[in-house]
Amino acid sequence: MEANYRFYEIDKDFRNPYARDRDRVIHSGSFRKLEYKTQVFLNQEGDFFRTRLTHSIEVSQIARSITSHLGLNESLAEAIALSHDLGHTPFGHIGGDTLDECLKDDGFVNGFEHNFQSFRVVSSLEKRYNGFNGLNLTFATLEGILKHSYPYKKSFLPPIIDEQFNLDTHPSIEAMIVDRADEIAYITHDIDDGVNSGLISFDDLQESELIIEILDKVKKEGVLQRDDEMFRYRFVSHLINHLVYSLIEYSKDRVDNSEIMCAKIDSKTELPIGFEPKLETEIKKLKKILFSKLYQHKDIMVKMFAGKQAIRGLYSGLNEEPKMLPTFYRTQLSSRNKHRVIADYIASMSDRHALSFYNEMYGKL
């Protein structure tokens, strides 16, 4: 991996540097492929369900709203938000976990991790310039992608990363906001998609006091029928607003007085962005409910199992016959490790590309 991630400055540009980062990400091939990458439901399930692309846009919208209210840099938050999932494989988290297993089974102890892969996409895997790799993003955007989730130090990160990005310090507050905006987005839209699909109901979620509170708000608007599409829309709107306003209210004084950007990480450090403790507990409870009732639902597990077999099949087949790689990746075999080149190719695929290629190799899945 290159020792440097920034290469030159542009003398004249009508955009600020972070807006330029955002535009470079939006125009990248990796960003466009998010349209056909699974969030929870496979892309083929229907037009309504979220994909990695719509999820990234929702995260960006929430992050911009929060940073705007707190007087922070909206463009930086937007650039990080739109980039944070670029490293995801097809078939959601199960795809990344399977690719990680494949690499480790072949002796690659660092395996695969989608957050670091997102950093690799924008810093080295995207090819947009003659003479160097990557999208040439600003340090703050790169750091926000790399330090997407705490803890920042991970065993698989090469030493050069720590040297340049100091993994003993927190990223910008905008990056922390993106992390929580990501959480708000996937909780709310997974409930929306799960209820719309019929895999879960609002009754399934009423173990959470937070959900009961939001349901009462919808009822007070006069929308009483839970199977009414309007009920679901109003529920999601109220839940997003409640979480966003709660985060802003709890965080605003900490942001005003924070020196966290220069602080050393330790277990006692309280991040300036977050929710009051009772709500944090409710959010954790709600995530556990979604995990058990939606993410592990039989219908979801069947689709994810199929995706898992596709990842394993692609990895095995391409290692056995690397000449099946596209020219762009095949030419890298002389200078890079074959297994990592193959993993990068598989990670770059959309769901439909992965399934189509698997079917070409082995017959219809």
Query: How does pLDDT run across 64-100, given as a tens digit for each residue?
Result: 999 999 999 999 999 999 999 999 999 988 999 999 9
pLDDT of 5 strictly over 90? no
* Mean pLDDT across 97-111: 95
Q: How far apart are CA 57 and CA 185, in angstroms?
A: 10
The DSSP call for residue 269 is: P
Cβ(276)–Cβ(203) below 8 Å: no
**What is the structure's pLDDT at 303?**
87
Q: Is 6 exposed, middle or buried (0-12, 13-18, 19+ CB in 10 A)?
A: middle
Arithmetic mean of pLDDT, 107-123: 93
> How confident is the model at residue 2, as a pLDDT?
45
pLDDT, one tens digit per residue, over 179-189 is 999 999 999 99
User: What pLDDT score was predicted for residue 9?
Assistant: 59
pLDDT band per the 50, 70, 90 thresholds, residue 350: very high
* Average of per-residue pLDDT across 329-346: 96
Give yes or no for residue 365 having a pLDDT over 90. Answer: no
The residue with greater pLDDT, 129 or 328, is 328
Confidence check: pLDDT of 42 > 70: no
**Omega before 151 within 30 of 0, i.e. cis:** yes
Is 170 a residue whose pLDDT tops 90? no
Question: pLDDT value at position 41?
Answer: 60
Residue 48 banded pLDDT, cuts 50, 70, 90? very low
pLDDT at 334: 94
Q: Is pLDDT above 60 for 43?
A: no
Task: Evaluate whether 273 touches 247 at the Cβ level (below 8 Å).
Answer: yes
**Inter-residue contact 324 to 84 (CB < 8 Å):** no
Say if residue 257 is exposed, middle or buried (CB neighbours under 10 Å; 0-12, 13-18, 19+): exposed
Whole-number pLDDT of residue 267: 47
Task: Please name which of 117, 148, 112 lies closest in space to residue 30, comparing C-alpha atoms.
Answer: 117
All domains in the chain, ordered by first residue? 17-299 (1.10.3210.10)
Contact 36, 158 (CB under 8 A): no
For the chain, the average pLDDT equals 88
pLDDT in tens, 209-241: 999 999 999 999 887 777 778 899 999 999 999
Of 258 and 340, which is predicted with more confidence? 340
Between 345 and 222, name the one with better pLDDT: 345
pLDDT tens-digit series, residues 27-39: 999 999 998 887 7
The pLDDT value recorded for residue 304 is 87
Residue 335: is its pLDDT beyond 70?
yes
Q: Of residues 155 and 258, which shows the higher confidence score?
A: 155
Tens digit of each residue's pLDDT (9 = 90 or more) over 263-320: 555 545 678 899 999 999 999 999 999 999 998 999 888 888 999 999 999 999 999 9
